[in-house]
Amino acid sequence: MAVKRKHILITAVVLCIIAIAAFAGSMSTTKSEKVFVVEKGPFEATLNCKGEINGLVATPIPMPKILGDRDLRIWQLKILNLAQDGKYVKKGDFIIQLDASQIISGMREVQQSLETEEADLKNARIDSTVTLTGLREDIKNAKLDLEYNKIDLEQSIYESAAYQRKAQMTYKKAENTIAKKQRDYLLEQNKLKMKVSRSEEQVKRSQDKIAKFQQAMQAARVTAPEDGIVIFGENWDGTKYSKDGTISTWSSGPPIATLPDMSEVISETYVKEIDISKINVDDDVRVTFDALEEVTINGKIKSIARVGEDHKDFDMKVFKVLIHLDETNDGLKPAMSSNNNIIIAQETDALFVPLKAVFKEGGNSFVYLKTGTGPQKTSVTTGVENEEFILVKKGLEEGDKVLLQLPAEVI
């Protein structure tokens, strides 16, 4: 029994030794995790930015031009109803109904004015007819007087010289009277013609204005010019057009809505000014979508804005960037959010270390090499970085071991 107890005791001691060794090994492993062995391998750095999907080509649905006609004096209209944003519509389908009450009241005012103007025109024509008829009668009578005076002049050859002279003067006076009456007739005719013409023009303007109001009433109901997914525009404050809201009638303003063609897709995004120098046109991009978890589409940067702008979602200037997707997907919808990973560096055989292994001092970068004699401070030349690692262009070789934190003697 004593021998057996001795064997049990020895076994227990051995197990304790093994446990202690294992614990020591685990402690050693923990310490080794603070060291990174430099290896060569694939490296990629990306710039991540949120974007919004849209069609490369989109058919605008502008404010009907007639509603912005200055003659109508309508500056904005209330939205009575509109189609669902993002709904697929066919050509001729309902898009938006604007309140036509302003149009109707304006047309009624013009119609009342037109009644008065048409009465004035009728009176002007009657006055012209009566006046000119009277003047023509006067000219006709003056011509009869001239004939009478002509006969008297011809008979005066048998009278005294004084009588002949008087007959000649009477005849000449009759000629002058006719000439004057003819001139007066022409002047009055032109005067009355202008008066009638002005009345006709006023009536024509009112008639044209009424015709514009009638066109405006029809235009207050906007329909789709072709098939597509309708995406409504925004008010001056950035809010989407909605029922009971108002909309400006400026035909030169932004469109009421657009019908994007999703056969070719772009992602519109904004890049901060501190990052804009990292990207270039034709850079590769991987695009993913929150709404389509398993879909990834490659693309390229199509354009970069030359001028920065202020944006409500950023605290600094940003540059608008358009990314053209290489393909489309049935699940893509206009205005869908996208995650754009712009590839700013990609190497298949690169040296890189964790970001926390590189330290800065006076604008220079350095690492601490693990050597047999202790940590050795070594200068390095770095390149681009991603969320975890940074490229090392100079200063390290494959197999080097670098510390992931400052050595104790430095701390």
Beta bridge partners of 289: 292
Contact between residue 345 and residue 391 where contact means Cβ atoms under 8 Å apart: yes
CA distances from 51 to 271, 305, 334 (A): 10, 15, 12
Same domain, 124 and 145: yes
Residue 391 lies in a domain: no
pLDDT band at 384 (very low <50, low <70, confident <90, very high): confident
| 122 and 167 belong to one structural domain | yes
Shared-domain flag, residues 213 and 231: no
**Can you tell me the distance from the alpha carbon of 303 to that of 282, in angstroms, rounded to the nearest whole number?**
8
How many structural domains are present in the chain?
A: 3
Full residue range of the structural domain in which residue 333 is found: 47-51+261-347
Question: What pLDDT shows up at residue 7?
Answer: 45
Instruction: Please tell me the number of Cα atoms within 13 Å of 82 on its side-chain side.
Output: 22
CATH number at residue 179: 1.10.287.620
Tell me whether residue 56 is in a domain. Answer: no
Average pLDDT, the chain: 88
What pLDDT sits at residue 6? 46
Identify the three-state secondary structure at position 239.
Answer: coil
What is the predicted pLDDT for the residue at 346?
Answer: 87
- Total Cβ atoms within 10 A of residue 179: 11
The answer on 301 and 271 residing in a single domain is yes
Burial class (CB in 10 A: 0-12, 13-18, 19+), 342: buried
Measured distance CA(307)–CA(364) in Å, rounded: 32
390 in any annotated domain: no
Lowest model confidence (mean pLDDT) among 182-186, 202-206, 231-235? 231-235
How large is the average pLDDT for residues 303-328? 93
C-alpha 224/C-alpha 89 separation (Å) is: 7
Q: Compute the distance between CA of residue 397 and CA of residue 367 in angstroms, rounded to an integer.
A: 12
Q: Which residues of 288-316 are buried (b: 16+ CB within 10 A; e: fewer)?
A: ebeebeeeebebebbeeeeebeeeeeeee
Is the same domain home to 199 and 120?
yes
pLDDT at 34 over 90: no
Query: What digits encode the pLDDT tens for the residues 8-24?
Result: 444 444 444 444 443 33
Say what the pLDDT of residue 251 is: 67
Look at residue 158 and tell me whether its pLDDT is greater than 50.
Answer: yes
Minimal CA–CA distance to 247: which of 103, 71, 92, 99?
99
My answer on whether 270 and 224 are in the same domain is no
CA-to-CA dists, residue 376 to 9, 208, 283, 296, 410, angstroms:
48, 91, 39, 44, 11
> Is the full-model pTM beyond 0.85?
no
Q: Are residues 94 and 142 in the same domain?
A: no
Place of tokens 């490296």: 43
Backbone angles phi and psi of 123, in degrees to 5: -65, -40
In a domain, 387, yes or no: no
Cβ neighbours of residue 67 closer than 8 Å, sequence gap 6 or more: 74, 77, 98, 216, 219, 220, 249, 251
Domain end: 299, 318, 347, which one? 347
**Residue 111: which pLDDT band, with cuts at 50, 70 and 90?**
very high
Q: What is the pLDDT of residue 26?
A: 33
**Spatial distance between the Cα atoms of 353 and 202, rounded to a whole number of angstroms:** 85
Per-residue model confidence as pLDDT tens digits over 169-181: 999 999 999 999 9
| DSSP output for 83-118 | PPTT-EE-TT-EEEEE--HHHHHHHHHHHHHHHHHH
Residue finishing a domain among 347, 370, 391: 347
Pairwise CA distance, residues 317 & 180, whole Å: 82
Q: Are residues 200 and 342 in the same domain?
A: no
Residues 6+ apart with CB under 8 A from 51: 267, 268, 269, 287, 323, 337, 338, 339, 340
Same structural domain for residues 274 and 307? yes
Q: Quick one: 214 and 293 in the same domain?
A: no
Q: Where are the alpha helices (DSSP H) in 156-227?
A: 161-219
Q: Give the tens place of pLDDT for each residue, 132-152.
A: 999 999 999 999 999 999 999
Within a domain: residue 73?
Answer: yes
**In the prediction, which pLDDT does 28 show?**
35
Identify the residue with better confidence: 23 or 291: 291
CATH number at residue 270: 2.40.30.170
- Mean pLDDT for the stretch of residues 251-280: 90
Rounded CA separation 234/245 (Å): 11
- To which residue do tokens 């010289």 refer? 161
Q: Is residue 254 part of a domain?
A: no
Q: Are residues 269 and 325 both part of a single domain? A: yes
The verdict on 204 and 224 lying in the same domain is: no
pLDDT band of 282, cuts 50, 70, 90: very high
CATH code for the domain of 69: 2.40.50
Supply the pLDDT for residue 410. 60
pLDDT band at 374; cut points 50, 70, 90: confident
> Does residue 24 fall inside a structural domain?
no
User: How many whole angstroms separate alpha carbon 275 and alpha carbon 279?
Assistant: 8
Alpha carbons 411 and 409: distance in angstroms, whole number: 6
Whether 8 maps to a domain, the answer reads no
